[in-house]
A and B are shown apart, each in its own frame.
Chain A
Amino acid sequence: MKKYLYIAASLLVTITMQAQDRKMPKQGPAPSININKPETFTLENGLKVMVVENHKLPRVSFNLTLDNAPFAEGSKKGVTDLVSAMIGNATEKISKDKFNEEIDFLGANFNFNESGASASGLSRYSARILELLADGALNPLFTQADFDAERAKIIEGLKSDEKSASAIAGRVQNVLTFGKEHYNGEFTSEETLKNVTLQDVINHYNTYFVPGNAYLVVIGDVKTKDVKKKVEELFGADVWKKATAPNLTYNDPKDLQYSQINFVDVPNAVQSEISLINLSKLKMNDKDYFAAILANQILGGGGEGRLFLNLREKHGWTYGSYSNLGASKYISKFSSTASVRNTVTDSAVVEIFNELKKIRTDLVSAEDLKNAKAKYIGNFVMQIEKPATIARYALNIKTLGLPEDFYENYVRNINAVTPEDIRNAANKYFLANNTRVVIVGKAADVLPGLEAMSAKEKMPIFYFDKYGNKVEKPVVKKEIPAGVTAQSVIKKHVDAIGGEKALKAVKTLFVISKGTIQGQTLDMVSKTSNKGMSSTDVTMKGMSLMKQIIGDKTGYQTSQGQKKNIEGAELVKEKKEAVPFIELALLADKTIVLSGIEAVNGQDAYVIQVNTSKYFYDVKTGLRVAAENEAGEGDQKRKVMTTYADYVDVKGVKVPYKTTLDVGMPLEFITQDVKINEGVTDKDFE
């Protein structure tokens, strides 16, 4: 027996040991890293060259970058697109066909554009690759035929993105954030392309493709000595004349004074592109740079960021939600983005705001900060010894004006960031009250919810077309489901508030309500009879403000001491409405029309047109949620919207307890008491 116990005990030990064995392993000692620097030299014309030798694979890459200041192209926007499209097509020495043929023959990859050029291939061809790169970049042949062909292609190419929600979003975000006149906000269109001439292309190239701020980075299986000789021969001052591109200054755009929604209707969209934006002036050499990038990492840096965990993992609204903080020599932006299905657009915006507010208010936990630091340091450690990183970091130090020891101090500076630093950076760089919310989506699906959210959060909505021009609110036609008619809508309403039988049993209705407008209290007493008679009396502190009587054969209205009779056609019309439940009459009225579906306070409602009035019935509940009537005469004539809410059951009949009149400002009445079939006599209507 004891033996078995032993075995059982030892089994237990193994089992527990195994379970312990599967605990999360601890990190090993941190790997040591070396920060290497490239070999560098500068040519007489200003071109700076950096070489990182790496002989692991028989390949080489050359990368020429022109670090010119940004500029706006204005009415000729697209001149840079054209320079990029034309440069490298042919050179003054080699025809287009021969040039392309040779590039492809080498099996190499080449890329030329208005702000640089690059090439990569097998190192055994490195000399020829560099020759072709220099020839293509420095001796481009710009011809009218090529210009016409490339312009036609760019114009056609614009069409391929015409209906893409993400392409539209990208354009509109920049137009609205930076303004159309700004180099970040302007965009290429067929119109601006047509303003560009071949001479513009040539002038642009001559002005901007200069060595003053140029860098050539060489990485791979080459010898620095050989590269230097070849570069001096191909890019030297006698070939590439010394010059510097213009450095223009622009007025910085401003952030919004209060948060607002900018909506663009794209009817074919199945997802909304959401972006919450403010401007960023963060630079990499700012003192709070490290705190700012860590704050962004915690907020929305990846699959472990708060935005992702909230919008994707908790709610399943999106494939991913991230934030992005620009850090540049020039003005850039901070944005929090998500592509979400149409119906959750408003909720997603609210949640993104919540995360922004949270990181601005609450200190981040020690664990969150530790994880964010680990990610940055881990990536740094993994990248630092790669040849491309060595070159990129060296280039950053030069072009971004960073201290020479920026990367030596990188890990230390990351580690020094505190939770307070994160909160300060979040408050400085992530705005929550001056946010531009750009939403590109399908208005028919998105707007009802968005309008309700807009009202609740007091954040106005402005509408734009897909080029960022202000437009009217899009008219959304919603399809009425099959089988729904004006009569079925009325029937549903009647059933929803008690049924035909119960409503018919109501002979008189007596309602006492209290209203408020601009801090003043109003009392309203209204009585109606199913014989087509009504009386309404509004008083303030016992003084009559307005009184209206619709009697058996006569009617009148007094307002501020003046009396006016209601007679003729007007009386006939008023009498129709002077009933406890107008829908009882509408049930059999063949002249009413179901004109569509519109949103009322964010909820879809059927619209029933009755002469010049409109009644709105909630699609889901059947309750009347609003009415639009004409009031006044002649020039004074205007439409008054009344909304109804808080239906309460009174003796088997549902009556709205909250009625709001829009008279330029909301006039809200709360019902105090409702009496059915009591307290009303025909005398009340004389």
Chain B
Amino acid sequence: MALGTMAMLGSTANAQKVAFEEFDLDNGLHVVLHQDNSAPVIITSVMYHVGAKDEQPNRTGFAHFFEHLLFEGTKNIERGEWFKIVTANGGNNNANTSDDRTYYYEVFPSNNLELAIWMESERLMHPVINQIGVDTQNEVVKEEKRLRIDNQPYGNIFKAIKQSLFKNHPYRWTTIGEMEHLDSATLDEFKAFNKKFYIPNNAVLVVAGQFDNAQAKEWIKKYFGAIPKGEPIKRQKFEEAPITSTINATWEDPNVQLPMTLAAYRTPSMKTKDARVLDMISSYLSDGKSSKLYKKMVDDKKVALQVGAFNNSQEDYGQYIIYSLPLGDVSSESLLKEIDEEIVNMQNNLISENDFQKLQNKFENNYVNSNSTVEGIAENLASYYLLYGDINLVNTEIDIYRSITREDIKEVAKKYLNPNQRLILNYGPAKEKTAK
């Protein structure tokens, strides 16, 4: 390595600390304010602690369906007006759903904070849930599923993995859910779901950007304060028995031509230190051209077109997924063999000091970038508060990564990444149906 580079290692990263203020309203709504006056922008977001894992097994897709339904209108916002109001005031907005939570946000020029707070409070206070809205969004969600999943090469990977890794936990179904479940759901069921989960004491409101602190608080109290507290949610805990022998599965996808080989492991909650160690292991294996799997399989041996490892960390469990596309006629077995060699190596030997320093640098860089936009900071604050239970992680999570040792990497690889703990998925082209 160049001497210059070594010299530069001396200085330490000094990412700006994210300053924030938090308080609770009487109805249990948690509020977080983060001021940043560098641009005339204001982000108003609400994260609700409801996701696909809160659904009934015969009513999957509900949480995501709400992400559509709750744009249909409120008592004071007529159907079809939501997007128009946002645009007419120069803003943009969207929402997204995961297995753990649902997130709604508006980004406006900073003179529209009151409007944004009002809109989000309207959504929580009295959304209009009627048959027209349900029927329209039912069709829209089906199109979304066709667009993003059924018409996309490799679109059903998560479905294939989740149904094998989870037998008991609601992570076994997909976020978008089964369309038959949505078809058979009644209007009353949708209303009941809203009443149960869309309550102030199951949400966090974040206001971030350029605003006047006292004014913002006044508006928040005025619009959100009027909303009654909901019945506290009783959540069921789902435990999975450990996987003790390899699960083999196949999936046929008519949209693909190249077979993909995947190994997936069930890993612990994103809140644990082990989950963060697994993030580092992913980086070690496949982030960058010098990463172990990329360099060996794509660059040197030329057996793979692609190889990747990532830790899909979630609130209750994670899915650790390694995937590879072959180059030419390379078999699934030989791809797996190459992957396993590196894992075994990690389990038996400490990674090199140089590789370890490389990981530290990468995570330092990720950390600086994760708080680089006000939009990003707003979402981080909401997630750390609502899902991780520790909002200070916005500034301190990097310390957890910094505390990880080479020994930790070895131990975690040994603990979770064994052949008998995993799913081997062969995700390939659909076989031609024989003509009758």
B13 at the interface (CB under 8 A from A): yes
Contact flags (1/0) for A92-135 with B, using CB distance below 8 Å? 00001100111111111100000000000110110110010000
Q: Which of A96, A121, A153, A319 has the most CB of B within 10 A?
A: A319
Which B residues lie within 8 Å of A308 (CB)?
Answer: 83
Expressed in whole angstroms, the minimum distance between the Cβ of B428 and any Cβ of chain A is 12
B414 at the interface (CB under 8 A from A): no
How many chain B residues have a CB neighbour from A under 8 Å?
A: 93
Cβ of B254 and Cβ of A268 under 8 Å apart? yes
B358 at the interface (CB under 8 A from A): yes
Cβ of B143 and Cβ of A56 under 8 Å apart? no
Cβ of B290 and Cβ of A104 under 8 Å apart? yes
Expressed in whole angstroms, the minimum distance between the Cβ of B48 and any Cβ of chain A is 21
A182 at the interface (CB under 8 A from B): no
How many chain A residues have a CB neighbour from B under 8 Å?
A: 85
| A386-427 residues at the B interface, CB under 8 angstroms | 386
Cβ of B151 and Cβ of A269 under 8 Å apart? yes
On whether A57 and B222 interact (CB within 8 A), knowing A104-B288, A124-B8, the answer reads no
On whether A127 and B136 interact (CB within 8 A), knowing A152-B327, A339-B143, A382-B40, the answer reads no
Q: Which chain A residue lies CB-closest to B354?
A: A105
B365 at the interface (CB under 8 A from A): yes
Cβ of B305 and Cβ of A58 under 8 Å apart? no
Contact flags (1/0) for A299-323 with B, using CB distance below 8 Å? 0001110001100111111110000
Which B residues lie within 8 Å of A539 (CB)?
Answer: none
Which A residues lie within 8 Å of B392 (CB)?
Answer: none
- State which of A122, A314, A340, A381 has its C-beta within 8 Å of the C-beta of B90: A381
Which A residues lie within 8 Å of B357 (CB)?
Answer: 105
Cβ of A22 and Cβ of B76 under 8 Å apart? yes
| B272-328 residues at the A interface, CB under 8 angstroms | 287-291, 295, 298-299, 302, 305, 325, 327-328
Query: Complex formed: what's the CA distance from A338 to B90 in Å?
Result: 25
Query: Complex formed: what's the CA distance from A121 to B358 in Å?
Result: 13
A23 at the interface (CB under 8 A from B): yes
Spot the interface stretch: B52-60, B103-111, B242-250, B382-390.
B103-111
On whether A317 and B147 interact (CB within 8 A), knowing A58-B15, A100-B289, the answer reads no
B233 at the interface (CB under 8 A from A): no
B191 at the interface (CB under 8 A from A): no
Which B residues lie within 8 Å of A89 (CB)?
Answer: 289
A570 at the interface (CB under 8 A from B): no
Query: Complex formed: what's the CA distance from A319 to B150 in Å?
Result: 13
Q: Which of B39, B87, B137, B305 has the most CB of A within 10 A?
A: B87
Query: Complex formed: what's the CA distance from A26 to B152 in Å?
Result: 43
Cβ of A59 and Cβ of B140 under 8 Å apart? no
B115 at the interface (CB under 8 A from A): yes
Cβ of A152 and Cβ of B142 under 8 Å apart? no
Cβ of A303 and Cβ of B290 under 8 Å apart? no
Cβ of B368 and Cβ of A339 under 8 Å apart? no
On whether A378 and B118 interact (CB within 8 A), knowing A268-B254, A316-B136, the answer reads no
Cβ of A125 and Cβ of B8 under 8 Å apart? yes
On whether A100 and B90 interact (CB within 8 A), knowing A27-B115, A166-B151, A385-B40, the answer reads no
A516 at the interface (CB under 8 A from B): no
Cβ of A100 and Cβ of B40 under 8 Å apart? no
Cβ of A160 and Cβ of B146 under 8 Å apart? no
Spot the interface stretch: B197-205, B255-263, B340-348.
B255-263
A561 at the interface (CB under 8 A from B): no
Cβ of A161 and Cβ of B87 under 8 Å apart? no
Expressed in whole angstroms, the minimum distance between the Cβ of B260 and any Cβ of chain A is 9
B113 at the interface (CB under 8 A from A): yes
Q: Which chain B residue lies CB-closest to A308?
A: B83
| B54-85 residues at the A interface, CB under 8 angstroms | 75-77, 80, 83-85
Which A residues lie within 8 Å of B287 (CB)?
Answer: 104
- State which of B109, B140, B226, B361 has its C-beta within 8 Å of the C-beta of A106: B361
Query: Complex formed: what's the CA distance from A50 to B324 in Å?
Result: 41
| B218-262 residues at the A interface, CB under 8 angstroms | 222-223, 226, 254-258
A149 at the interface (CB under 8 A from B): yes
A21 at the interface (CB under 8 A from B): yes
Could you name 9 residue pairs across A and B whose Cβ atoms are closer than 8 Å?
A31-B110, A124-B13, A153-B327, A159-B258, A271-B143, A308-B83, A309-B80, A316-B140, A385-B38
The 9 closest A-B pairs by CB, nearest first: A378-B90, A316-B139, A107-B361, A31-B40, A28-B111, A104-B288, A107-B365, A268-B254, A100-B289
- 8 extra interface residue pairs, beta carbon distance < 8 Å, beyond A374-B89, A378-B91: A22-B75, A22-B76, A58-B368, A59-B369, A122-B365, A270-B151, A303-B83, A316-B137
